[in-house]
Amino acid sequence: MEDKLFQEKFDRAWMYKKERKYTEAIELYVDLYRQLIKDAFEYLGGANGTFTEDKSKVGEYLKGDNLACTILNNIGVIFAEVGDKKSAKKYFKESIKYKPDGIEYENPKIGLRELKK
């Protein structure tokens, strides 16, 4: 996906969240996350049919920058705001899993701590 279009969708999802249009926000975030996974498969050779599914390689690709962890954290935040602690916990943990090494991003850990209160 073109970077500009990706950023526009990301910004629109954030605005929906701020406006409490949670369904619309989650739909956009999930769409963006799926696009990242598709990009990973294409990057790893999936576009020409030679890629065999290797979740660790996809995970490495997703850890290449902070997009996946940010998107997953934002989904977790929405679920926390609507009171779905189980789903929020799931997305916060996924966010932590895809946090790039060497990047300070404590938001999902903070989210998990807040859920325990």
Strand positions, DSSP E, 26-100: none
- Token digits for 92? 């916060």
CB 7, CB 67: distance < 8 Å: no
Q: What is the pLDDT of residue 57?
A: 84
User: Can you give the pLDDT of all 117 residues of the chain as single tens digits?
Assistant: 578 999 999 999 999 999 999 999 999 999 999 999 988 888 887 655 455 556 678 888 999 999 999 999 999 999 999 999 999 999 999 999 999 999 999 999 999 999 998
Q: What is the pLDDT of residue 52?
A: 54
Residues sharing a CB contact under 8 Å with residue 54, sequence separation 6 or more, in sequence order: 44
CA atoms of 112 and 59, how far apart (whole Å)? 21
Overall number of domains in the chain: 1
Whole-prediction pTM value?
A: 0.88
Range(s) of the domain holding residue 11 = 3-115
- Token digits for 56? 């660790």
Q: What is the CATH number of the domain that holds 88?
A: 1.25.40.10
- How many CA atoms lie less than 13 Å away from 101 in the CB half-sphere? 3
Amino acid at 21: K
